[in-house]
Structure 1
Amino acid sequence: MKYIFILISLLIGLVTHAQTALYNSGNIRIHNQGQLGFHTDLINDAAFDENVGLAGFYGTALLNVSGAFAPTFFDVEIVNDLGVFLQTGVNSGNNTNFILGDFLTPKDQSGSYFNFLQNAFYTGESDLSKVDGYAAVTQQQNVTFPIGDTQQLRPLILNSSGVNPLAKCAYFYENPGSPSSLEVTFSPAIRARDLGAVSATEFWRLEGSVPSTISISWNERSAIASLTDDVATIMVVGWSKASRQWTPLGGTVAVGDLSTGFVASESFVPDDYEALTFGTMDVPADFLTLENYLVTANGDGINDVLIIPELLELSPNNHLKIYNRFGSLVFEQQNYTDQFNGFANVDNFVIDRQQGLPADVYFYIVTMDDLDLDFQGFLYLTR
């Protein structure tokens, strides 16, 4: 039997709270295939972790989750345009479906967060639905944090050398030199000598004890043109706890243009740094610009696959990688000819290989081994 609990009228008034709320003292459980819909606040003062159904957060008023214990749900979804504020954390053991509204956490403390447990994943993240504050993973090695601010999804991609006991991340669309959400400051003017400039527009905070690389992306709101007119100089920089200044974190040469692109770091320990953002350094450009391509994967026989004539003509020995606009690898092929038809061929935290990639702008990087050259460009995918 399917158990369905809709908490529309189940309201318990508390003398010490200004609004009604559901108070859990240990008598609630979501059974197999059950559904529990929250239309009011949750005050969780007991273990609430033996759930195997769906917990949904609905309505048009801001909801709050508080209490002494972080609830652990199996499946989670959110359809609330004002969001759900997590004064205490929430754990997800399986799928989190972002539909509408944000999970909000205090940005001045990382102790409350939306936590994806070992086998958890998510779907539907967008500018309209994400984690505005701290998202975390437990016992996972590689993750794309579905984080951002009130306006935009601004994920950070974490690839670790081992499984993270716990890693968490938040995004700040604020000047790191005078952030409105924090009492600490990370002045862009205080930087290592070999750095040219540091972003005063946005930053990320990442916690984790395992050596890792990260990838972060920029868009027009990032104001990269205020830092440099040469994409090849863009790199990841971190505010070092040891030296109390911005230092370069190296990595790959940035991909994209001044309005859209991404860059990856070299390996570092996140806990050694207070904040992460974009900086510039005078480095040689390793990439040359190739053509931009259009793929219309609709089966009409015209531009259904990506064909790069130069590969066959100049370098049959090559290596092609395609990334989405956030820097997540979606396709990789050694000795590429014409294999990309709008579908991913890699598995990661959020990519489903069975579904075609969404229409969007993608970046490609081609290594021509015969010429010892690297090229990059844009790929426009439509359906």
Structure 2
Amino acid sequence: MKNYLFFTLLLVYAFAKAQTALHNYGNLKIHPTGQIGFHTDVINDGISNDNDGLAGFYNDNRMLTFSGTNQMNFENVELEVDDDLSLLTSVGITGELDFISGRFITPRINPNIRLKFLNNNFYFDSNDNKHVDGFNEFSGSIDFTFPIGDEFELKPLGISNYTEKQFVAAYFKEDPNTPTTFVSGFDTSAFEPSLDIVSTTEFWYLDSTGTADVTLHWTSSSNVSSLVNNLSQLRIAAWNATTNKWDNLGNDSFTGTVNQGTITTKINATQEYTIYTLASILENGNDILIYNGITPDGDGINDTLIIRGLEDIPDNELIIYNRWGVAVYQKENYDNSFSGISEGRVTTSQDEKLPEGTYFYVLKIGNKENLAGYIYINR
């Protein structure tokens, strides 16, 4: 463990629960060649937002805490706290961060408390035991990968080709349906028809209003093998807080295997997504799954005929016939809207509820072979 000279202005010591802490009430300034080592808790109620040099946090016996009313900003930082450094107020870094041992832990119930990379920062040696467990902020103009994780698992999130200059990210190793630090869950059974399965293992938080390429990293604990057989089926999904369902953001590129890899896709400024996870689509995004029954009673469940996977195939046409072979519904570029109401030029009685019973469909898909089958309307 390194030992450095402490030098301060208006620096006093305070005691809380019999534990010694370094308490700054005034101005603390580290000059360009200066070095300071914090071996105990730090409370900053003064001014210390323009530091140069090196600040180190060191302890091999217990967790350290950083608290107070004001944020401290450092240039270069070393973390060597075996039992982690808990941030109860934000800490900013303008230079480099070296993870020697331990994690930065922020309160997940308060996204405003973060470890902040303030200026195109670099960091070294993050892993499952050395990362930011909680909220991490980045400001800059370079490609950046957040060293974020949950407990003792690193699950980075990368950003590139972005227009916004500030991002906040965190990783949650928990079921999106029952998150512990959000007001409500993110229902993994509610998603765009092009999706097939949404992960219940983990999710990422990313706050930005600009366009960016986003990369998620998975490991064996992500259970990607339960989502897909082939990585070409993997997608990034984002929770749409307006529609309360997961949107399919696509898969621009991927690397690795089902046990470890990355997936990248683009997000745009038109949607204010903050919650992301891994998901799968139907085989290669082209297979079609047609549900063969509807119950159009207005309860929001099976009210319309759902054809999953059709969104990726815009050149299509659906025709539905009654048992006498009369077309009662016809729609080009079908949008999962058939609710048992006769529509289209092929019917003589439009906008009427079709009687309960069995109907037959033909789905025309571009230059592929037509799909045909039956559906049942149950009122």
Could you say if the C-alpha distance between residues 262 and 182 of structure 1 is closer, same or farther in structure 2, counting changes exceeding 3 Å? Answer: same
CA RMSD of aligned residues (A): 2.3
Q: Which whole-Å CA distance do the structure 2 matches of 1:201 and 1:231 have between them? A: 17
Could you say if the C-alpha distance between residues 74 and 204 of structure 1 is closer, same or farther in structure 2, counting changes exceeding 3 Å? Answer: same
Give the letter for the 1:90 counterpart.
Answer: V
**Is 2:140 the counterpart of 1:139?**
yes
Q: Which whole-Å CA distance do the structure 2 matches of 1:234 and 1:119 have between them? A: 31
Q: Contact (CA 8 Å) 1:107, 1:182: kept in 2 or not? A: no
Q: Which runs of 5+ in 1 are unaligned?
A: 287-383
Q: Which whole-Å CA distance do the structure 1 matches of 2:76 and 2:128 have between them? A: 21
Summarize deviations over 1:222-265 as a string: whole Å, max 9, x none. 11122222221101000012211111111325333222222111
Structure with the bigger RCO (C-alpha within 8 Å, sep 6+) is 1
Alignment match, 1:84: 85
**Is 2:259 the counterpart of 1:250?**
no
Shift of 1:285: 8.1
Aligned residues: 280
Give the TM-score normalised by the residue count of structure 1: 0.68
Q: Determine helix, strand or coil for the equivalent of 2:276.
A: strand
Could you say if the C-alpha distance between residues 199 and 87 of structure 1 is closer, same or farther in structure 2, counting changes exceeding 3 Å? Answer: same
Give the letter for the 1:275 counterpart.
Answer: I
Q: Which whole-Å CA distance do the structure 1 matches of 2:211 and 2:117 have between them? A: 20
Alignment match, 1:153: 154
Alignment match, 2:198: 198
Shift of 1:107: 1.4
Q: Determine helix, strand or coil for the equivalent of 1:4.
A: coil
Q: Contact (CA 8 Å) 1:232, 1:284: kept in 2 or not? A: yes
Q: Determine helix, strand or coil for the equivalent of 2:225.
A: helix
Alignment match, 1:56: 56
Q: Contact (CA 8 Å) 1:89, 1:114: kept in 2 or not? A: yes
Shift of 1:50: 2.5
Shift of 1:98: 0.8
Question: What does 1:146-185 align with in structure 2 at a 5 Å threshold?
Answer: 146-164=147-165, 166-185=166-185
Could you say if the C-alpha distance between residues 18 and 202 of structure 1 is closer, same or farther in structure 2, counting changes exceeding 3 Å? Answer: farther
Summarize deviations over 1:241-295 as a string: whole Å, max 9, x none. 2211111111325333222222111232497113101011125389xxxxxxxxx
Q: Which runs of 5+ in 2 are unaligned?
A: 287-379
Q: Determine helix, strand or coil for the equivalent of 1:174.
A: coil
Q: Which whole-Å CA distance do the structure 2 matches of 1:35 and 1:140 have between them? A: 28
Q: Which whole-Å CA distance do the structure 2 matches of 1:32 and 1:161 have between them? A: 32
Alignment match, 1:25: 25
Give the letter for the 1:230 counterpart.
Answer: N
Q: Contact (CA 8 Å) 1:198, 1:280: kept in 2 or not? A: yes
Q: Determine helix, strand or coil for the equivalent of 1:265.
A: strand
Q: Contact (CA 8 Å) 2:12, 2:24: kept in 1 or not? A: no
Q: Contact (CA 8 Å) 2:71, 2:91: kept in 1 or not? A: yes
Could you say if the C-alpha distance between residues 50 and 18 of structure 1 is closer, same or farther in structure 2, counting changes exceeding 3 Å? Answer: same
